[in-house]
Chains A and B, each alone.
Chain A
Amino acid sequence: MNCFYTVTDVKGEKMHLHLCETHPVYEGHFPGRPVCPGVMTMGMVRECASRLMGKRLAWKELKSCRFTGMLYPGDDVTLVLKGIEGIEAEISKTSAEGETSVMLTLKGTLISDG
């Protein structure tokens, strides 16, 4: 998922991320109406947990992953990660008016990969 997002800031369990506008996925999701694919935000959670742990992690189980709002190329989002191998994650977005909305909530289990 090269260049899908950049990490702009890390404060403890909170990470600020920018969704890159130019990622090729938006050519196909969807042509003329770019929307961030939900499963790629899950991948972002896994990769950020891997980064915090300093090792590559893989999904073992997802108890639940709920998508409650749309993300678009260019969005700035906040990811909060609690736990690592038994993980709880939340991605939120703050509008230009200052209103914060939850976009994804996830509970799952990550294991070492390799």
Chain B
Amino acid sequence: MLPTTFKTVDEVCLLLPQRPPILMLDSFEYIDAGTCCGTVELTERMVFADEDGNVAQEAVLEHLAQCAAAFMGYRRKMKRQDVVLGFIGDIKRCTFYDVDFHVGDKIESELHTVSEVGNVLMVSATARTDDGHTAVACTMKLASA
């Protein structure tokens, strides 16, 4: 039976196929049919981190993509379908308000469905740091395999 909350990594892993060292989603604060809010703490074990504790900007985009992939997974599960691989089709209108990310940073992201046509989901996505300011915003299309 599908959990009603996704507060642990084990629960999140029911919704998407990515695994460490590129698993970039720790939990969902909430998830429903049209929106979701995912969180991740950047760690030194992630592939985007270097030995000095810097984390590449692309880590935040991967986090947003995995929120979207898990969101797709949730929607499939609600229809009693299996979770499948999802791939980014495109990223548009993406602004990086922050350029530096570090191990220990906590990112919280909100996604809204823009459209869903066949196996392609388009979302608007905003990532915020734990002090509440916007770090990255974009629209993203994901396709399931």
Q: Mark A residues whose CB is within 8 Å of B.
A: 1-2, 4, 23-25, 27-31, 33, 35, 37-40, 42-43, 46, 58-67, 70, 108, 111, 113
Question: At the interface with chain A, which of B26-34, B73-81, B88-96, B120-128?
Answer: B88-96
Inter-chain CA distance A8–B111, complex, in Å, is 39
Q: Is B19 an interface residue (CB 8 A)?
A: yes
Q: A38-B88, A39-B61 are in contact. Are A1 and B94 (CB under 8 A)?
A: no
Q: Which of B12-53 contact A (CB under 8 A)?
A: 17-23, 47-48, 50
B95 cross-chain contacts in A, Cβ below 8 A: 60-61
A24 touching B21, Cβ below 8 Å = yes
Question: B60 to chain A: closest CB distance in Å?
Answer: 9
Q: Tell me if B131 counts as interface (CB < 8 A to partner A).
A: no
Instruction: Name B's A-contacting residues (CB within 8 A).
Output: 17-23, 47-48, 50, 56-59, 61-62, 65, 85, 87-96, 99-100, 138
Question: Is B87 touching A60 in the complex (CB atoms < 8 A)?
Answer: no
Q: Are A31 and B17 in contact (CB under 8 A)?
A: yes
B20: chain A residues at CB < 8 Å are: 27-28
The answer to whether A62 touches B92 (Cβ under 8 A) is yes
B21 touching A25 by the CB < 8 A rule? yes
The reply to whether B91 and A37 contact each other, CB–CB distance below 8 Å, is: no
Is the CB–CB distance between B47 and A25 below 8 Å?
yes
With A23-B47, A63-B93, A63-B94 already in contact, 18 other A-B pairs whose C-beta atoms are closer than 8 Å: A24-B21, A24-B47, A28-B21, A31-B17, A40-B58, A42-B58, A43-B57, A43-B58, A46-B57, A58-B96, A58-B99, A59-B99, A62-B93, A62-B94, A62-B138, A65-B91, A67-B90, A70-B87
Chain A: interface secondary structure? Answer: mixed
Q: Which residues of B contact A25 (CB under 8 A)?
A: 21-22, 47
Chain A residues whose C-beta falls within 8 Å of the C-beta of B22 in the assembled complex: 25, 28-29, 37
Are A30 and B92 closer than 8 Å at their CB atoms?
no
A35 contact set on B, CB distance < 8 A: 85, 87
User: Chain A contacts of B100 at CB under 8 A?
Assistant: 58, 113
The answer to whether B96 and A60 have CB atoms under 8 Å apart is yes
CB contacts (< 8 Å) of B18 on chain A: these are: 28-30
Residues of A within 8 A of B50 (CB): 2
